[in-house]
Amino acid sequence: MTNLATAQKLAPSNLQLPVSAYFDVDLYQREIELLFKQGPGYVGHDLMVPEIGSYRTLAAENEGRILVRNEAGVELLSNVCRHRQALMLNGSGKTENIVCPLHRWTYDLNGDLLGAPHFEDKPCLNLGKSPLQNWQGLLFEGPRDVRPILPSWVLQMISSLMAICSITLRCTTATTTGKHLSRFTSRTTMSFHFILA
């Protein structure tokens, strides 16, 4: 019988990464290239830009890109002006065109340059654009088609959540009234409907 109290008698586990893996810059770069850039990258929800002309900058990217709704749907555009690289929009709001605050270069809601004051010929410089996939309102970028993988992924997530909720409900039965429990259950169910709608 193994004496668990004696650490030296336990065989080293092969399942754990060596500590150096967590500080390996090359490994980190490979993870970025092979995992994160190839997988579906969640950008936001289309309700973040509810009307034509609505925009919202991506705070996680220091506002380098913006979600914009135009006639065709939601676009993910660069928020960096093609003239001298100024950031153009902040936060969220509504606009007819995207106008750079520095020298007033003006882009339409597709990111196409409409006008460049003081330039005789309009430069052919439109805003960079990243293709988006819309799945049930959730917006993703990246090379991978999200539609075949997301439904099973969401179902897995829901079953995990259900397991957690069931444990939580059981744990709270002793201390929570039935009224609180039913409110918790209906809220959870509503959230699931929202995800699947």
Interface residues with ligand FES (CB under 6 A) are 81, 83-84, 86, 100, 102-103, 105
Minimum Å gap between C-beta 14 and ligand FES is: 55
Residue position matching structure tokens 């929800």 = 45
d(CA 62, CA 74): 20
Minimum Å gap between C-beta 145 and ligand FES is: 35
Give 102 or 149: the residue with its C-beta nearer to ligand FES: 102
**Segment (H or E) for 189:** helix 178-196
Cβ neighbours for 62, distance < 8 A, ≥ 6 positions apart = none
Minimum Å gap between C-beta 94 and ligand FES is: 21
Query: What are 122's two structure tokens?
Result: 């309009």
Give 58 or 86: the residue with its C-beta nearer to ligand FES: 86
**Segment (H or E) for 158:** helix 150-173
Give 118 or 193: the residue with its C-beta nearer to ligand FES: 118
Give 35 or 124: the residue with its C-beta nearer to ligand FES: 124
Are 148 and 135 a contacting pair, CB within 8 Å?
Answer: no
Are 81 and 100 a contacting pair, CB within 8 Å?
Answer: yes
Minimum Å gap between C-beta 57 and ligand FES is: 16
